[in-house]
Chain A
Amino acid sequence: MQKRYFSSVIKNFNVRTHVGKQKHYLSTSWTLDTRLESLSSCRWIPRLTNLDSFRNFHSSLLNNSSQDNGGKLSSGEKLSSDLVHHLERTSLVDFDSAEAVTRLTEAVRFADQLFEVNTEGVEPLVTVLENESLYLREDIAEQTNRKDILKNASVTEEDYFVAPPGNIPLEPTSKF
């Protein structure tokens, strides 16, 4: 549920970025929880899934010393600018200032405490419903209504949704 919340946050950012072409900043008014949540979606999955390729991709974005650390940040260590740019690009959140990056680093370090828990031989729990069998639906088609579907779209054209021409990449900046 929390993760779902995060993805809808990103989505809103994206839509507004596209429409108004304005950038949104990770401001100090955000709660620590929100920031942790956003970071966790990037950082705990490699541990859960145990996928080497995935982990390597992430650690390649961290600087060398943290790579030896299994992706962890040691105290005093900083996030590489590559990783910061990468996070900005995928989240469409502009960190804007050195202060925000410091805050981000602190949040990462805070979340890193999770790595101190010994999970050796423990199967990761993905869902509390894992002992339930997945409900299966019979393959029966139902009518859908185009009017309902297009009702909430702000711009349509001949029954199509209208979207911006493609992904607008976030230009890398070096303000910090």
Chain B
Amino acid sequence: MSWFRKSTLVLMRRYSTGAKRGPWESVVGLEVHAQIQTNSKLFSPSSVKFGSPVNTQVSLFDASVPGTLPVLNRRCVEAAISTALALSCKVNMLSTFDRKHYFYADLPSGFQITQQRKPIAEYGELKFLVMPPGKAASYIKTCRIRQIQLEQDSGKSLHDEECDRSLIDLNRAGIALMELVFQPDLASGEEAAALVKELSLIMQTLGVCNCKMEEGALRVDANISVNQPGEGLGTRTEVKNLNSVRSLVHAIEYEIKRQIKVKEDGGIVINETRSYDSDLKTTLPMRDKEVQQDYRFMPEPNLPPLELLDDPTDTRDSITDLVNVAKIKENIVELPETTRQNLINDFNLRIETAYIIVATPGLVSFFLAVMKHIPNNCGVRAANVMLTEVMEQLNERNLTYENCPLKPEVLAEVIELIHKLQIHVSTAKDVLTLLFNGDSRTPTKIVQDENWITVTSDDVILEACERILKENPKLVENYRLKRKSKYMNKLIALVKQSVEKKIDMKKVTETLETMIKQEDGN
């Protein structure tokens, strides 16, 4: 993270002061490959479990044995349609498949079946919140989607350099991918990361992709260029092999800096494919892709066009091989954006808080369960406690909200105690520790037993404050002259010590300040 912050600072300085030619604009476009969550592959019935023994989920079709034919998996079509609908795309009622030729040993047929001429969906958009690190304000960004297409994954090659050969595992060959092509509407690594996070959340909510980047279930390629304002887009480079959000951010920021340097030094950016090295944190040209590829696209002769229905009253989908878009639309689950809007409207949460809640696994349902027991105006307080104090307890125990041992009604009680000012947040932390350690008493009983109820009575506080001010004239004098908060903090600490029970510290601070001011006035 620190590396990234530093680099952004350097970049921003560059942007603001600029070289002789003025600030550079950076343009980033993403292509995302998402493995569709299925039981079987796109065109064959072999299974798709991650990490299976080598070559154990390969059918004759996946190995391109002559005479085998592709048979499309219905689930993949449905997954692509629900994703397209969630991203406000236009679903094509007729889409077609094409062959894209590559020459690699892990693609035994010599071509990939994809959708080039007429993809299953086009022209959508994705809205997301960008929260830059540091103090910069967060903002909403929209990125347009050019198309969504169904295509096959390739197998995996292990390069055995010692023996000068490749070892081929075809388990991945033919797994269903959804490729999402985004328009180059982004300007930085941060925006790209925010897009990928929001897209992952949507696809996980829909259940179409588990989005585990570390397993290669979600892979991102980034196209990057820089140009002077007013000029056309610069020559782009493509960075591949981005297998984490972190490397996506680093690779894009590095590549923007590199291209600016090349151009400022009078060089020319070459249109090339580069790979990202996460150890060196740099991008390097891929030797393999030096020559421009000729994919020799051609229509896939073994697959007739894919036709869809879009009418909720049409029943042909139950008896024929047609997928009904209208029925998928009816059954689509609540999307993250709707959940966030509900949280904001019902509980008055800040948009950033809503984003974090929705992005935390299991938290939305837990939060809503807690809120059933307490009034809606406790929402902000409840969200804060759940995102800080409760989260701390969970992290310490390596738990998440999906397996939180605390019952929602118990946490609701704790939050209510805070809300009614009966306990302070710092006390709540102690109560939560006891509860997480298996204390079976109710929160109210705990604070009573432990004598943790905050004293709010004015008399006690007034008396204590007066006494401490009298006993420490030197501190009061220092605070009055220097107005330094350390003297005030010392006074507050003394008041806290002198009272055995928990007291409302906010009230103490206020009381002390008014008392000193009054004396000033005298």
- Chain B, residues 69-107, CB within 8 Å of chain A (1/0): the string is 001111111000000000000000000101001011100
Picked from A129, A134, A163, the residue with its CB within 8 Å of the CB of B168 is A163
Interface status of A117 (Cβ within 8 A of chain B) = no
Picked from B56, B110, B320, the residue with its CB within 8 Å of the CB of A146 is B56
Interface status of A133 (Cβ within 8 A of chain B) = yes
Q: A167 near B103 (CB under 8 angstroms)?
A: yes
CA distance A140 to B46 in the complex (A): 9
Interface status of A1 (Cβ within 8 A of chain B) = yes
Q: B39 near A139 (CB under 8 angstroms)?
A: yes
CA distance A129 to B97 in the complex (A): 13
Q: B168 near A162 (CB under 8 angstroms)?
A: yes
Number of A residues, CB within 8 Å of B: 52
Q: A11 near B298 (CB under 8 angstroms)?
A: no
Q: B63 near A141 (CB under 8 angstroms)?
A: no
CA distance A50 to B77 in the complex (A): 26
Q: Which residue of B lies closest to A165 (CB)?
A: B164
Interface status of A42 (Cβ within 8 A of chain B) = yes
Picked from A4, A86, A158, the residue with its CB within 8 Å of the CB of B54 is A158
Interface status of A45 (Cβ within 8 A of chain B) = yes
Interface status of B288 (Cβ within 8 A of chain A) = yes
Interface status of A130 (Cβ within 8 A of chain B) = yes
Q: Which of A138-176 contact B (CB under 8 A)?
A: 138-144, 146, 148-150, 152, 157-167, 169
Q: B298 near A140 (CB under 8 angstroms)?
A: no
Q: Which residue of B lies closest to A92 (CB)?
A: B103
Q: Which residue of B lies closest to A141 (CB)?
A: B47
CA distance A167 to B287 in the complex (A): 12
- Chain B, residues 283-319, CB within 8 Å of chain A (1/0): the string is 0000010011010111101011111000000000000
Picked from B40, B98, B292, B304, the residue with its CB within 8 Å of the CB of A133 is B304
Q: B166 near A136 (CB under 8 angstroms)?
A: no
Task: For B291, list chain A residues within 8 Å (CB).
Answer: 169
Interface status of B111 (Cβ within 8 A of chain A) = yes
CA distance A45 to B117 in the complex (A): 11
Q: A134 near B54 (CB under 8 angstroms)?
A: no
Q: Which residue of B lies closest to A57 (CB)?
A: B294
Q: Which residue of A lies closest to B320 (CB)?
A: A133
Q: Which of B25-44 contact A (CB under 8 A)?
A: 38-40
Q: Which residue of B lies closest to A142 (CB)?
A: B45
Interface status of B165 (Cβ within 8 A of chain A) = yes
Interface status of A115 (Cβ within 8 A of chain B) = no
Task: For A54, list chain B residues within 8 Å (CB).
Answer: 297
Q: Which residue of A lies closest to B290 (CB)?
A: A169
Q: B306 near A4 (CB under 8 angstroms)?
A: no
Q: Which residue of A lies closest to B66 (CB)?
A: A8
CA distance A45 to B296 in the complex (A): 8
Contact residues on B (Cβ < 8 Å of other chain), bracket: 35 or more
Q: B46 near A132 (CB under 8 angstroms)?
A: no
- Chain A, residues 106-132, CB within 8 Å of chain B (1/0): the string is 000000000000000000001101101
Interface status of B60 (Cβ within 8 A of chain A) = yes
Task: For B59, list chain A residues within 8 Å (CB).
Answer: 142, 144
Interface status of B334 (Cβ within 8 A of chain A) = no
Picked from B45, B60, B298, B323, the residue with its CB within 8 Å of the CB of A149 is B60
Q: B54 near A137 (CB under 8 angstroms)?
A: no
Interface status of B48 (Cβ within 8 A of chain A) = yes
Contact status of A133 and B103, CB under 8 A, knowing A138-B74, A163-B165, A166-B288: no
Q: Which residue of A lies closest to B102 (CB)?
A: A167
Picked from A42, A134, A135, A139, the residue with its CB within 8 Å of the CB of B305 is A134
Interface status of B179 (Cβ within 8 A of chain A) = no
Interface status of B321 (Cβ within 8 A of chain A) = yes
Contact status of A163 and B297, CB under 8 A, knowing A142-B40, A148-B60: no
Interface status of B472 (Cβ within 8 A of chain A) = no
Task: For A42, list chain B residues within 8 Å (CB).
Answer: 296
Task: For B320, list chain A residues within 8 Å (CB).
Answer: 133
Task: For B66, list chain A residues within 8 Å (CB).
Answer: 8
CA distance A141 to B38 in the complex (A): 9
Q: Which residue of A lies closest to B304 (CB)?
A: A129
Q: Which residue of B lies closest to A50 (CB)?
A: B117
Picked from A10, A48, A159, the residue with its CB within 8 Å of the CB of B299 is A48
Interface status of A7 (Cβ within 8 A of chain B) = yes
Task: For A165, list chain B residues within 8 Å (CB).
Answer: 159, 161, 164-166
Q: A127 near B301 (CB under 8 angstroms)?
A: yes
Nearest-Cβ distance from residue B324 to partner chain A, whole angstroms: 12
Contact status of A137 and B103, CB under 8 A, knowing A4-B301, A150-B55, A166-B288: no
CA distance A136 to B45 in the complex (A): 12
Q: A51 near B167 (CB under 8 angstroms)?
A: no
Interface status of B416 (Cβ within 8 A of chain A) = no
Nearest-Cβ distance from residue B289 to partner chain A, whole angstroms: 11
Nearest-Cβ distance from residue A167 to partner chain B, whole angstroms: 5
Q: B321 near A135 (CB under 8 angstroms)?
A: yes
From A49, A51, A133, A140, name the one whose CB has the most chain B CB atoms within 10 angstroms: A133
Interface status of A59 (Cβ within 8 A of chain B) = no
Q: B105 near A133 (CB under 8 angstroms)?
A: no
Interface status of B113 (Cβ within 8 A of chain A) = no
CA distance A149 to B56 in the complex (A): 9
Q: B39 near A141 (CB under 8 angstroms)?
A: yes
Task: For B76, list chain A residues within 8 Å (CB).
Answer: 139
| 15 new A-B contacts at CB < 8 Å, known A146-B53, A149-B55 | A57-B292, A127-B301, A134-B307, A135-B321, A136-B74, A136-B77, A139-B40, A139-B74, A140-B40, A141-B39, A146-B54, A146-B58, A160-B54, A161-B55, A166-B166
Chain A residues engaging chain B, CB cutoff 8 angstroms = 1, 3-4, 7-8, 10-11, 14, 41-42, 45, 48-49, 51, 54, 57, 86, 90, 126-127, 129-130, 132-144, 146, 148-150, 152, 157-167, 169
Please name 29 pairs of A and B residues whose Cβ atoms are closer than 8 Å in the assembled complex, sorted by A: A1-B301, A41-B296, A41-B298, A42-B296, A45-B296, A48-B299, A49-B297, A126-B305, A127-B304, A133-B322, A136-B73, A139-B74, A139-B76, A141-B39, A142-B45, A143-B47, A144-B46, A144-B47, A149-B55, A158-B54, A158-B167, A161-B105, A162-B165, A163-B157, A163-B166, A166-B159, A166-B166, A166-B288, A167-B103
